Structure formats: C-alpha cells, structure tokens
A and B are shown apart, each in its own frame.
Chain A
C-alpha cells in the first residue's frame, strides 16, 4: 500500500479563483501532498507527455486528473479524448470538474471515457464538501493504476492488480 504523501493530483483549471478555492478545500482536509495545477488543456497534455515546461518532471502519472471542461487553447473534452485514445495514458482516472450542468456535456464526457463528472456547486460549503469527497475517494480510497506510482519509490506490484484493467 503506497503512502498518502506519495500521491499526486493533476488539476487542469483556467480560473485562478477556482484553483485557489479547490486547493483551499483540499488543504483543509490534508488530502493532497502534491497538487499540480495546469491552466489549460495544452499544459495538461504537456505535463502528461513530459513536454515543454514539464520535460524534466519526475516520471509517473498522477492518481487522478481533475479536468475543467471549458479552457483556453485545448478544452477539457479534447484533453479527455486524447488521453483516453492513448494506450499509455488511458488508464489515468479523469474526473470532470465543471460548472456545466448541460446534458450534452455529460453525454460527451462519459462517451469519451470520463471516470466521473462533478458539477461545481455555487455554494462554497457545498463546493468544499464536493472537493473533499473527491479527494477522499481518489487519493485515499481508490487504488490507482500501477503507472501512477512514482519511479523513485516503486511499490511491489499487487498480486491481485490487473495491469490491463487499471480502473
């Protein structure tokens, strides 16, 4: 069982306020040792593919990607599509975290393979609750795919884990 401090959460969010609020909610419950924030879809892809600014980042994938739908440059759906289309990345769990309640967004997201879809509540307390639940689940409860483990501290592969079925 990997220790919690080893877990990374990748958050793609263009609104600075949202980033701050989300981080505040996560920190309140000490759920994330490391939250990597990217500000648009392109940066998210750069991080995942270790390109550009993230060329030298440590290997390994985050335990979850919190993905906003509407972002500059490459939007959330495009990131989702490319991640899920790439065999080396498709095991990465992706949670859509968005303001949109539109049915069409839900349908498209799940069609592209999103692992969850969460609407950001306007009410701050509700928002905090939602983020805390998310963090609890993905960082603590959920067993991430093997590729999420950092190379610096590789854990022995669990006997029961199936590499072909990461989620």
Chain B
C-alpha cells in the first residue's frame, strides 16, 4: 500500500454518517473515492456545491461542474448549487461537521500553516482560514515528514499561520495523533514502528496511548 493510500484509507474512517464534510485540495479531496457509494454524507465544496460526489462517467462529465481542486465531480440526489457568498456563509455559520485539510506544518498546539512559504511557494489562502476557524472538527492529512525527510509535525509552526489552535486530529502515513491540552497523543500507529522511531521523526513531543502498546 502506498503512503498516500494508507493515509486515505485511515482518513475515510473519520467521516461520520449523516455529516457535512469539506475535503481540502490535495490529499483530502481523494478521500471521497474511498467512501462506499451508498454512504450517507454530504460533501461540501467551497466553490458552491453541497452534495458533490465521485467523478461522473465519461459521457456525463460536465466541464461546468468541478470541485475546488478542479476535479470533475457529479452531484448526489438532493445536491444544491450556490454562489461563493452562500458557500462561505455555510462555513462561517459552522454548518460543516468536519473539514479534512492538508498542511505545510502543524504543531502540538493544533496550529495550522498551509498557505504561504514566503518567497518560494505561496498558493494562497483559498477557503482554508474560514474552514479552519469555523468548522466543528479539523483533521489534518499529511505525510509525517516532508520530501527531504524533515518533520512536518512541529513544537510550534514557523510558517505564517492559517489559523491558531484549530486542529483536532492529525493523520499521517505513520500514525493518528490527537491534539490535547497535554500536547500530541498518539492513538494509533499505521505501520510497524517503535515509539522511539516515531518520536525521532516528529519535532513535537509525543505521548503514546495506542491500543496494545508499541507495534
């Protein structure tokens, strides 16, 4: 199983039946493909869709219907389409139950940085600040380290923040971690790895509360 697949397979388990969920650009939008076709959920896409669903069949693909990442989505029964002001009213009025979002950096306080790497790669804020500040629950999906092997899960974020203390849970390719008042608590390991090895790949201090102890 690839690193990405491992994250997505674990991430899909976060979606509770009956919920309204936003899936951010990058890894999160791919979570939709792991949902069973009859799963009771409404996917919100900030470009103005409630009830977005998996890519339509080729002959039904609509160039005027994409999700926020540009993928050609379909609509479920009961879907609605609306303008960007309504879409973000829905977000700021906290009608979304869950947002899964990517990160450049995330830290032990639940701070999130995902919009700006000064002078290098600044994709911009998009919907991230409002989603992060106003969604009931924020789950970050990220590789545990960056492409150079450096930790992305830090003591304190160094990049400009998207929002403070907004993250509830982090799902990496190695572990599931909750943000608590006592810092990051490892709930599950997704691979065979010792506590010490996982800590070595994580700048933030980890405490371990995994079922069945060290893998």
Query: Do chains A and B stick together as partners?
Result: no
